[in-house]
A and B are shown apart, each in its own frame.
Chain A
Amino acid sequence: DGGITQSPKYLFRKEGQNVTLSCEQNLNHDAMYWYRQDPGQGLRLIYYSQIVNDFQKGDIAEGYSVSREKKESFPLTVTSAQKNPTAFYLCASSLTSGSSYEQYFGPGTRLTVT
Chain B
Amino acid sequence: AQSVAQPEDQVNVAEGNPLTVKCTYSVSGNPYLFWYVQYPNRGLQFLLKYITGDNLVKGSYGFEAEFNKSQTSFHLKKPSALVSDSALYFCAVSLYNTDKLIFGTGTRLQVFP
Instruction: Give chain A's interface residues, CB within 8 Å of chain B.
Output: 1, 4, 6, 31, 40-45, 48, 50, 56, 58, 90, 92, 97-100, 102-108, 110
A31 touches B99 (CB 8 A): yes
Instruction: Considering the complex, give the chain B residue whose CB is closest to the CB of A103.
Output: B101
20 A-B residue pairs with CB within 8 Å: A4-B43, A40-B105, A41-B105, A42-B106, A43-B44, A43-B103, A44-B103, A90-B44, A92-B43, A97-B99, A99-B96, A99-B97, A99-B99, A99-B100, A100-B32, A100-B49, A102-B46, A103-B101, A105-B36, A108-B41
Chain B interface, >50% SS class: loop
B46 touches A104 (CB 8 A): yes
B95 neighbours in A (Cβ, 8 Å)? 99
B44 neighbours in A (Cβ, 8 Å)? 43, 90, 92, 103, 105
Instruction: Give chain B's interface residues, CB within 8 Å of chain A.
Output: 9, 32, 34, 36, 41-46, 49, 51, 90, 94-101, 103-106
A102 neighbours in B (Cβ, 8 Å)? 34, 46, 49
A106 neighbours in B (Cβ, 8 Å)? 43
Indicate which residue in A4, A31, A42 contacts B90 across the interface (CB closer than 8 Å).
A42
Q: Knowing that A40-B106, A100-B32, A100-B49 are A-B contacts, what are 9 other residue pairs whose CB atoms are under 8 Å apart, sorted by A's residue number? A: A40-B105, A42-B103, A48-B99, A97-B99, A100-B94, A102-B34, A104-B46, A105-B44, A108-B41
B100 neighbours in A (Cβ, 8 Å)? 45, 48, 58, 99
Q: Nearest-CB distance from B67 to chain A (Å)?
A: 14
Instruction: Considering the complex, give the chain B residue whose CB is closest to the CB of A40.
Output: B105
